Structure 1
């Protein structure tokens, strides 16, 4: 058990998300024991004045650079990503392994892992009407954003940019295998939930998974459970 150093937690957002996407989890982590670092890609939140990243390789490198900058080498840490954050997190962790600074675990939610066959639809190329319908199916986007044109015009470019990152090269990770354990969680109503064990092929280490009630954004309904998982995996069982 870690007693001398804080555990650093690095969180990678979903498509359309920002550094504020995990604010609902922050209260569960004691500042005396944890450093909570919610990262974000350019074009939103605190980085709204920067140009979007539209390439997966560049998105991975951006997250990698952020993580390296904030890392305190002697402190234990974990990486958690939801949906797009899970996919990018896999490659980010691989790069951290390559520089000899691997996390204790990679936690992934709302994602069956790279290489699972999906429909060939390119969300970032859809017209606004079709794009809104796809976002409704995924959940997580407030209806107010979809119905208010001003709000939609603000958030739509962010979401399209993130979908472009994912959909232009949807299997950059082919052949990638970690030495880091992976813990995966999905909602039982997600279309690809039956493929969650796909994550197992991306690690030589321990693989665990759990299925929750709910859809793609089940994490919003089970914040305490998600927090407990992160805490348990970082060996800080402070929630009991």
Structure 2
């Protein structure tokens, strides 16, 4: 007897491993991770979001249970795979949250929805990232391994024990390099302003994404754009997670209240 084929990489349970569907969600929140990150960073939010909000934390290839799947190196190819998975769950009101690399992906999701005449997000939260039109950070994914690892230490996002573990590092380095390439993706053809509310989060001591870069998000939408600053550096979501969650709750409540 032939064994059952492995799940398709596009299967929803691959992309949303921690999702717990609500019978009648008021809103779905799609959360996209930072470079090298996974859906797990958002798992604690599931029971702390406003009532009726269903958490849909996206798991990209190349990490955790999808570790053996190659990570996407180019944003268009990722979008071609991701959009068909997202769209069936966008039959309810929804919002987007993206952190660092995830903010770049979230912006592209919003742009594709507009270009393709898809559903309109209630809002988009972009954290710890500049808009691609003003990304002046060093493209560290183009460095050799020694230089790339040194820059990873500078970002303080990869645990030192991982950086010191030769076999593990060899396993995850291609995903990290691919993710940083996605984070540095420039603007494509569709650069018209969005028409949805934006809420932008920045770290007060983030040496990679300063306040001057965060402010440029005001040019990315014709709707309301609000900017918040949090204590901490580039990974303030880890060091000051509770204030970030409170801000997310406030933004979602405001957007849901505005729906007729």
Asked whether the 8 Å contact 1:186–1:196 carries over to 2, the reply is: yes
Alignment-derived partner of residue 123 in structure 2:
105
Asked whether the 8 Å contact 1:82–1:109 carries over to 2, the reply is: yes
Q: Compute the displacement of 1:27 (Å).
A: 4.0
Alignment-derived partner of residue 181 in structure 1:
197
Does residue 132 (structure 1) correspond to residue 152 (structure 2)? The answer is: no
Alignment-derived partner of residue 41 in structure 2:
21
Q: Compute the displacement of 1:63 (Å).
A: 2.8
1:175-224 Cα distance to aligned partner (Å, 9 max, x none): 23111111001111223322211011110100000111211001112222
What does 1:41-190 correspond to in 2, within 5 Å? 41-71=60-90, 73=91, 75-97=92-114, 98-119=116-137, 121-167=138-184, 169-172=185-188, 175-190=191-206
Q: Which stretches of structure 1, 4 residues or more, deviate above 4 A after TM superposition?
A: none
Asked whether the 8 Å contact 1:59–1:165 carries over to 2, the reply is: no
Q: 1:5 to 1:162 in 2, by over 3 A?
A: closer
Q: Compute the displacement of 1:99 (Å).
A: 2.6
Asked whether the 8 Å contact 1:41–1:62 carries over to 2, the reply is: no
- Aligned Cα RMSD in Å? 2.2
With structure 2 as the length reference, what TM-score do the two structures score?
0.80
Q: 1:195 to 1:142 in 2, by over 3 A?
A: same
1:49-84 Cα distance to aligned partner (Å, 9 max, x none): 43321111112333322211332x1x2211000001
CA distance in 2, matches of 1:38, 1:63: 13
With structure 1 as the length reference, what TM-score do the two structures score?
0.86
Does residue 36 (structure 1) correspond to residue 55 (structure 2)? The answer is: yes
1:25-64 Cα distance to aligned partner (Å, 9 max, x none): 334236x622111112222233334332111111233332
59-68 or 155-164, which deviates more: 59-68
Gaps of 5+ in 1: none
CA distance in 1, matches of 2:55, 2:162: 28
Higher relative contact order (CA 8 A, sep 6+): 1
1:5-28 Cα distance to aligned partner (Å, 9 max, x none): 432110011111122232343342
1:147-174 Cα distance to aligned partner (Å, 9 max, x none): 111221222111011122334x423377
